[in-house]
Amino acid sequence: MTKYVCIVCGYIYDPEVGDADSGIKPGTAFEDIPDDWVCPMCGVGKDQFEKE
Ligand SMILES: [Zn+2]
């Protein structure tokens, strides 16, 4: 699956890991994350991410 990187802070969303702190289970593709999810590092929205 494709990793996505936050263009503001450099946080990388890895679908194989997910984001446990936000309730995103491992194996969740970036496209399937709820639209109200925000970057766990800097708090920007999904529109500030691009494919790594
Ligand atoms: Zn960020």
The alpha carbon of 47 and the centre of ligand 1 are apart by a number of angstroms equal to 11
The alpha carbon of 2 and the centre of ligand 1 are apart by a number of angstroms equal to 17
Residue 25's region, left for phi above 0, alpha for psi from -120 to 50, else beta, is beta
Output the pTM of the full model.
Answer: 0.92
* pLDDT, tens digit only, all 52 positions of the chain: 999 999 999 999 999 999 999 999 999 999 999 999 999 999 999 999 999 9
Q: What is the pLDDT of residue 8?
A: 98
Instruction: Summarize pLDDT for 25-39 with one digit per residue, the tens.
Output: 999 999 999 999 999
The alpha carbon of 7 and the centre of ligand 1 are apart by a number of angstroms equal to 7
DSSP lists the bridge partners of residue 41 as: none
Give backbone dihedrals phi and psi of 48, rounded to 5 degrees, phi first.
-100, 15
User: Which amino acid is located at 9 in the chain?
Assistant: C
DSSP 19: B
* Angle 11-12-16 from CA coordinates, rounded to 5°: 145
